[in-house]
Amino acid sequence: MAEQQSILVGVGGGIAAYKSAALCSLLVKRGYDVQVLMTEHATRFIQPLTLQALTKHPVIFDTFIEPSPSEIAHIAVADRAMLYVIAPATANLIAKFAHGLADDMVTTTALAATCRTVIAPAMNVHMYDHPAVQANLQILRERGVIVLDPGEGPLACGYTGKGRMPEPEDIAQVVEAMLAEHQDLAGLHFVITAGPTVEDIDPVRYLSNRSSGKMGYALAQQAVQRGAEVTLVSGPTHLHPVPGAKMMYVRSTTEMLSGVQQAMKDADVLIAAAAPADYRPVQVYRQKWKKADGLPQLELEQTPDILANVSLARKAGQTIVGFAAETRDAIAFGRRKLTEKGLDLIVVNDVSQPGAGFDVDTNQVILLTQSGEVDELPLMAKSNVADRILTRVKLMRSQKNGEPQG
């Protein structure tokens, strides 16, 4: 490694803090320059001297002690860092980070850092499942923080379940992958669709589906972080805008098609993660239909097929990725859609499976290509699924268009 890449490791006050020593050791052995920050509570679990010996840097844990009079510690280390890893991330740390509190070196630096951040939650299974913790994690995900899934197994508290800090080897692999792919999509314009579309019946009723938009937003977020220009064409969702993406909000399937066609004029890749409504009422009632008027006659017609239209009009060099949410025979139906719509890649998932349906933060997908490849991914966070899809798209374009793979 010609130049050492600087990594910050923030250590929270949990029993899993002992694993941070192994993580620091691994990162140093792999050639990274590691600076450790600790909360005061973390120093009760592991001595700063241990981490100093492993990293060859003084550990910073007191916000009122400045090692160098020429710089402010938490600003200086944040400016130098290529990546910030908080492991373990306790429920308390997660809450403070999510809500912008900064009363220790770990959280103060988190607000000052402009690099990508990874957190490794570690806590009791019931704490991890608590709605407040899950809400805080979702806030961080929506801001672009990479949240690693905790491991499952025996916990220090005596319970068995989800809450173990990921193993240091696994975190180190994530670090290497993220630094290797840093800005690797720079120069590419991605158009990504997300969420449902809505087809009005009358002024207060409509046809739609259960899509939350989380998968499409995760794709947009990861693409922005990897340096791509991103246009996110979004149906109605409750999600926050993706920082760095051009947001295009639509309501109906026809509006989404129009938005995609406009954005694809100068785009390289379309990833159609949205779930547009397949049908719409032939007649839209101008006034609310009243019960006293009896049952409305609801005749349906098909909405425009976004993928088929865009695929037919694609320009040379454009890559088109579709999604297929199925409840049975997922691979068979996915292959049919891949072929019929002329896609380069299709992402298939069985939404009847736990953790792979709508409005959850995880997904389990199968990637199918025109060349017959079948890549079955395990259940993982949607942000991680997004990265795997983007990496596959990058590889496909490199092979097809002769683009550099570095």
- For 245, the 3-state DSSP assignment is coil
Same domain, 20 and 141: yes
- For 272, the 3-state DSSP assignment is strand
Q: What is the pLDDT of residue 71?
A: 65
Is residue 92 a part of any domain in this protein? yes
DSSP 9: E
Before 88, cis peptide (omega within 30)?
yes
Q: What is the pLDDT of residue 321?
A: 97
Domain count within the chain:
2
Is residue 302 a part of any domain in this protein? yes
Q: Is 271 annotated as a binding residue?
A: no
Same domain, 195 and 157: no
Average pLDDT by stretches of 10, the chain with 406 residues? 76 95 95 94 96 95 71 77 94 96 93 89 92 93 84 72 86 82 83 97 93 94 86 94 87 97 96 96 92 88 96 94 92 94 94 82 91 89 91 90 55
Q: What is the pLDDT of residue 406?
A: 47
- d(Cα 81, Cα 90) in Å, to the nearest integer? 22
Q: Is 33 annotated as a binding residue?
A: no
Q: Is 65 annotated as a binding residue?
A: no
- d(Cα 4, Cα 159) in Å, to the nearest integer? 41
Q: Is 307 annotated as a binding residue?
A: yes
Determine contact, residues 191/269, Cβ cutoff 8 Å. yes
- d(Cα 221, Cα 244) in Å, to the nearest integer? 8
Domain boundary among 124, 159, 180: 180
Q: Which DSSP string corresponds to 344-405?
A: SEEEEEETTSTTSSTT-SEE--EEEETT--EEEPPSEEHHHHHHHHHHHHHHHHHHHH----
Helix intervals (H) in 167-251: 168-180, 214-225
- CATH number for position 172: 3.40.50.1950
Q: Give, in order, the Cα–Cα distances in Å from 58 to each of 11, 51, 114.
A: 14, 8, 22
User: Could you tell me which of 156, 138, 136 has the C-alpha nearest to residue 91?
Assistant: 136
Is residue 36 a part of any domain in this protein? yes
Q: What is the pLDDT of residue 184?
A: 84
CA triplet 333, 336, 339: central angle to 5 degrees? Answer: 150
Same domain, 222 and 169: no
DSSP 13: S
The letter for the amino acid at 173 is Q
Q: What is the pLDDT of residue 273?
A: 96
DSSP 60: B
Instruction: Indicate if 157 belongs to the active site.
Output: yes
- d(Cα 16, Cα 11) in Å, to the nearest integer? 9
Q: Is 293 annotated as a binding residue?
A: no
Same domain, 60 and 150: yes
Is residue 406 a part of any domain in this protein? no
Q: Which of 115, 125, 139, 157 is catalytic?
A: 157
Q: What is the pLDDT of residue 292?
A: 86
Is residue 230 a part of any domain in this protein? yes
Q: What is the pLDDT of residue 105?
A: 92
Same domain, 122 and 148: yes
pTM comes to: 0.59
Is residue 313 a part of any domain in this protein? yes
Q: Is 306 annotated as a binding residue?
A: yes
Same domain, 141 and 75: yes
Same domain, 329 and 393: yes
Domain that holds residue 169: 6-180
